[in-house]
Amino acid sequence: MATITTGIDAISFYTSRYFLDLKTLAEARGTDFNKYYTGLGQEKMAIPPPDEDIITMAANAALPIIEENDLEDLELLLFATESGVDQSKAAGLFVHGLLNLPKRCRVVELKEACYGATVGLQMAMGMVQRNPKAKALVIGADIARYELASPGEPTQGCGAVAMLVSANPRILAIDPEAGLFSDDVMDFWRPNYRDQAVVDGKYSTRVYLNALGETWKQYSERSGRGYADLARFCYHLPFTKIAVKAQERLAKINGVDLSTDEAEILVTDGLRYNRITGNSYTASLYVGLNSLLDQCVEDLSGKRIGLYSYGSGCVAEYFSGVVQPGYREHIRAAAHRAMLENRTELTFQQYEDIFNLSFPTDGGDHKFAQYRTGSYRLAGVSQHKRMYEKAT
């Protein structure tokens, strides 16, 4: 069977309008802010206001794609998240309703920590291979939460990325070869009764880097490509410093002599957004891809990008894609820049107050105050039903 070129035809990123500067956090926690700025490579973390959740972020990310593309042939909506709001109903159905998407469409929620959106992308491409006229919307959206004053606290954040998957994509044609790795480990997890993750931080970082080696090995064997065939590298970004370490590890595996400065050049454009928004779990790798495509001064047309996806627990995948000529006409660099420049800084007290808010569970009618959001907001909850509305 002939292989059809498939991949990302449109891509859009959304994050909260509020952030906490990690200098503020460092001061409150009695830590040298350089530990966060330099040691972790994180400057700011996006904090969702009480009327923002994964569904509003997902709908806000997907809206421009819906407005700018004909989605009559949309047959699949995959919503990857580890911040699910319901044990039964797929989060994607709320988005499907808010965006008035075609009814003849499959809608499913996917979960495997930060890896979920990558399997979504692969499944969507499989569907397009079978029916090249069909399109799929793959969304990753998450809110990263760790206990207050824990080592994970400066690596929180939130965001959503929506990707339209089609045949003959205008932005990134994804290569068919991938390297895979799964292992039953307890590096990071969140039992159903908790709303903050439990993490063995240092161990998780070792597992992440080890899985990179495993996936790369299979990717390079299957594709016949080596380190030099890739022009830039994107990584899952729990904190951006890990990408520099990962790049150094990849160079070492391939016997390439690489200074830290050289490693930084290969990854740096892909880190700019995550450095000021923080971890967004499933969305994180694709926030990094947006950052690379939007921020790289060099024209990446025809260049091959390496992508490393990692989800704790763990599942990892190494894959690649070729940036399509003319991609700059289809990315949303100006909109992303405007969104990131137009955010409100929180005080430490405001951050802690938002963190400590608990979601009403009494089945009563609760209306939520209006904060700054994108086009959709969580208006409240009534009789255990989340109520969404267009933000005014």
Residues at the interface with ligand HMG (CB under 6 A)? 32, 34-35, 38-40, 82, 113-114, 151-152, 155, 187-188, 199, 201-202, 204-205, 208, 236, 238-239, 279, 281, 310-312
CB of 116 to ligand HMG, least distance (A): 9
Q: Please list, in sequence order, all residues whose beta carbon lies within 8 angstroms of the beta carbon of residue 53, skipping any fewer than 6 positions away.
A: 83, 85, 143, 378, 386
Q: Please list, in sequence order, all residues whose beta carbon lies within 8 angstroms of the beta carbon of residue 115, skipping any fewer than 6 positions away.
A: 236, 282, 309, 310, 311, 314, 315, 316, 317
Nearer to ligand HMG, 93 or 185 (CB): 185
**Closest CB to ligand HMG belongs to which residue?**
39
Nearer to ligand HMG, 132 or 201 (CB): 201
DSSP assignment of 331-384: S-HHHHHHHHHS-EEPPHHHHHHHHH-----SSSEEEPPP-S-SSEEEEEEETT
- DSSP alpha helix (H) spans, 76-162: 91-98, 116-130
First CA to last CA distance, the chain:
50
Q: Which residues are catalytic?
A: 82, 114, 236
Q: Is 298 exposed, middle or buried, given 0-12, 13-18 or 19+ CB atoms closer than 10 A?
A: exposed
CB of 197 to ligand HMG, least distance (A): 7
> Torsions phi, psi of 328, nearest 5?
-65, -25
Nearer to ligand HMG, 12 or 312 (CB): 312
CB of 294 to ligand HMG, least distance (A): 22
